[in-house]
């Protein structure tokens, strides 16, 4: 999959493309990453990409011309790419959106700065606006990196452990992931659950499902609302119900 990010701070993306899972995905050809420097498409000698807002007000607004030129140049190299704008007004980015975008061949992400972007560019050139949360950042670069990382994990081969690794991640199943343990077997008096040392994979799977449901119930109960539960999940709830009945009757 091809990614391109339109930004005023390409150096932020340079580190991202060359680190960890993303670096390995780029090196293996599973994804490509391009940081497009918007100032290179400004027409004046000062490379101006922002100006004062019409109507007055604080801050500056990103000009439409450099953005449009940068986008058109990028689309010549990756035609047919979906163009998204990182924006606090955008649709919340979630796992389902990541899964949908992972099926694309290419994606262009536009990163805003200052007080915002000239609305004419947004209305004429942007296909979708997406947000990573209801809070304000200095620019779209951090959000763009989060989006690319989330999508890349869903591309077969990127995680190195097959698509199953991504399918078991938190939110991919609609639940928080189960608790994890590693060596040492005992840490500050706390022991790894015996079932994880048993080698009985059927029982381990049952434990992991119960751990996942328990953590979801305690930390994100909203994820359980309107969920269609599987037979195995219902069995866990029935077990809890019997345990609660026993405790209440004591």
Q: What is the pTM of this model?
A: 0.87
Q: Is residue 110 part of a domain?
A: yes
Q: Are residues 17 and 127 in the same domain?
A: yes
Half-sphere exposure of 48 (CA within 13 A, CB side): 9
Look at the chain and count its residues: 250
pLDDT over 90 percentage in the chain: 92
Among 106, 136, 152, the domain boundary falls at 152
Q: Which of 169, 177, 215, 233 is catalytic?
A: 169
The DSSP-derived string for 110-172 is EE-BTT-B-HHHHHHH-SEEEES-SS--SBSHHHHHHHHHHHHTTSTTSSSS-HHHHHTSTTT
pLDDT above 80: residue 163: no
pLDDT (tens digit per residue) in 33-77: 999 999 999 999 999 999 999 999 999 999 999 999 999 999 999
Strands 82-92 and 128-131: parallel
Q: Which of 65, 88, 129, 177 is catalytic?
A: 88
Burial class (CB in 10 A: 0-12, 13-18, 19+), 13: buried
Structure tokens at 203: 């029982």
pLDDT digits (tens, 9 = 90+) for 102-157: 999 999 999 999 999 999 999 999 999 999 999 999 999 999 999 999 999 999 99
In a domain, 170, yes or no: no
The pLDDT value recorded for residue 160 is 82
| Catalytic status, residue 88 | yes
In a domain, 168, yes or no: no
pLDDT band of residue 168 (cuts 50, 70, 90) is: low
115 is catalytic: yes
Q: Which domain holds residue 24?
A: 2-152
Domain boundary among 98, 127, 152: 152
Catalytic (active site) residue 79: no
Whether the predicted pLDDT of 161 surpasses 70: no
The rounded mean pLDDT for the chain is: 94
Q: Which of 10, 66, 141, 153 is catalytic?
A: 153
Asked if residue 208 has pLDDT above 60, the reply is: yes
Secondary structure of the chain: what % helix, strand, coil (to 5)?
Answer: 45, 20, 40
- Whether 62 is in a domain gets the answer yes
Distance CA 175, CA 186 (A): 28
Residue 36 lies in a domain: yes
Burial class (CB in 10 A: 0-12, 13-18, 19+), 178: buried
Cβ distance 55 to 170 under 8 Å?
A: no
User: Of 19-23, 72-76, 127-131, 163-167, which range is least confident?
Assistant: 163-167
Question: What ranges in the chain are assigned the alpha helix state H?
Answer: 10-17, 20-27, 64-77, 95-101, 119-125, 141-152, 163-167, 201-219, 231-249
Percentage of the residues of the chain whose pLDDT score is greater than 70? 95
Q: Does 99 map to a domain?
A: yes
Q: What is the CATH number for 89?
A: 3.40.1280.10
Told to judge if 243 belongs to the known catalytic residues of this protein, a careful annotator would answer: no
pLDDT score, position 173: 82
Pairing mode, strands 190-191 and 50-51: unpaired
Active-site residue, selected from the candidate residues 34, 115, 129, 233? 115
CA distance 178 to 216: 9
């Amino acid at each position: 999959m091809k990614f391109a990010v339109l930004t005023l701070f390409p150096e932020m993306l340079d580190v991202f493309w060359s680190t960890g899972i993303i670096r390995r995905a780029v090196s293996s050809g599973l994804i490509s990453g391009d940081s497009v420097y918007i100032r290179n498409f400004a027409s004046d000698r000062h490379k101006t990409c922002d100006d004062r807002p019409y109507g007055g007000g604080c801050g500056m607004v990103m000009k439409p011309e450099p953005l449009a030129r940068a986008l058109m140049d990028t689309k010549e190299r990756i035609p047919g790419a979906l163009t998204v704008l990182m924006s606090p007004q955008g649709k919340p980015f979630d796992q389902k959106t990541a899964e949908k975008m992972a099926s694309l061949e290419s994606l262009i992400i536009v990163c805003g700065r200052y007080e915002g972007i000239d609305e004419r560019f947004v209305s004429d050139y942007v296909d979708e606006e997406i947000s990573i949360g209801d809070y304000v950042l200095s620019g779209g670069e951090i959000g763009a990196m989060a989006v690319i990382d989330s999508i890349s994990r869903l591309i077969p081969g990127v995680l190195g452990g097959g698509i199953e690794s991504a399918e078991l991640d938190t939110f991919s199943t609609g639940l928080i992931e189960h608790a994890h343990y590693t060596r040492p077997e005992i840490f500050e008096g706390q022991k790894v659950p015996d079932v994880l040392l048993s080698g009985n994979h059927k029982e381990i799977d049952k434990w992991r499902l119960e751990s996942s449901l328990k953590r979801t119930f305690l930390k994100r109960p909203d994820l359980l609302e309107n969920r269609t539960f599987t037979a195995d999940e219902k069995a866990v709830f029935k077990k809890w119900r019997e345990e609660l009945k026993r405790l209440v009757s004591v």
